[in-house]
C-alpha cells in the first residue's frame, strides 16, 4: 500500500507577506484570514513581540489541490541559484508560436507584479519554449 502525503513548499525570504502576496497573484492562491479575534494581519502582528512581527505568511490553493506555500523570514539574503524552483505551467498543451505568445503574455503580467524576466528560451528540436524568471526577492522560477 502506497502512502500519499501532502506537500508544503517553504520559501526563505526577507519579507514573507510581500513574497506570499506575489505568489498569490501568480498562482491564483489566497491568503488565509487573520487569526481568530483579529480583523487584519496587521492587527495580529501588532500583538507579537517585535522580532516576530511579519516573520511568516502562508497562502494556499483555494481549490485545495495545490500545495500550501509557506514563507519564513530569514536573516541572510539569497546568495546563489535555487537548487529547487517552481515551474508555472501556463503553456501546457500549446506548441510553437502559440505557446511562446502565451508565455510572453504571462511574463508581461508578472513583470507588472515585480517579477524579472531573465531569459526566453525558444523551442528547439528537443524542447518547447520556456521563460526563466525571478520573483520579487530573486527566487528563480520558470514559465513553462
For residue range 12-35, what is the model confidence (pLDDT) as tens digits? 999 999 999 999 999 999 999 999
Own/partner pairs, 103-109, CB within 8 angstroms, 24+ separation = 103/129, 103/130, 103/131, 103/143, 103/144, 104/131, 106/143, 107/131, 107/133, 107/143
Give residue 35's pLDDT: 92
List the grid coordinates of 58: 502562508
Q: In 5-129, where do the E strands start and end? A: 8-13, 56-59, 68-73, 86-88, 116-121
Q: Report pLDDT for 100.
A: 95
> What pLDDT does residue 123 have?
85
Per-residue pLDDT at 39: 95
- Residues of the chain with pLDDT below 50 are none
pLDDT of residue 87: 94
In this predicted structure, what is the pLDDT of residue 54? 92
pLDDT of residue 4: 74
Mean of the per-residue pLDDT values of the chain: 93
pTM above 0.85, yes or no: yes
Beta bridge partners of 76: none
Amino acid at each position: 500500500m502506497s502512502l500519499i502525503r501532502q506537500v508544503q513548499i517553504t520559501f526563505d525570504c526577507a519579507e514573507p507577506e510581500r513574497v506570499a502576496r506575489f505568489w498569490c497573484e501568480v498562482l491564483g492562491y489566497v491568503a488565509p484570514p487573520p487569526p481568530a479575534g483579529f480583523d487584519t494581519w496587521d492587527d495580529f502582528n501588532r500583538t507579537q513581540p517585535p522580532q516576530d512581527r511579519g516573520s511568516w505568511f502562508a497562502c494556499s490553493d483555494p481549490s485545495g489541490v495545490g500545495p500550501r506555500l509557506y514563507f519564513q523570514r530569514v536573516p541572510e539574503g539569497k546568495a546563489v541559484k535555487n537548487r529547487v524552483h517552481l515551474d508555472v505551467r501556463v503553456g501546457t498543451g500549446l506548441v510553437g508560436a502559440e505557446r511562446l505568445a502565451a508565455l510572453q503574455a504571462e511574463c508581461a503580467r508578472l513583470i507588472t507584479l515585480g517579477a524579472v524576466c531573465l531569459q526566453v528560451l525558444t523551442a528547439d528540436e528537443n524542447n518547447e519554449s520556456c521563460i526563466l524568471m525571478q520573483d520579487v526577492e530573486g527566487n528563480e522560477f520558470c514559465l513553462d
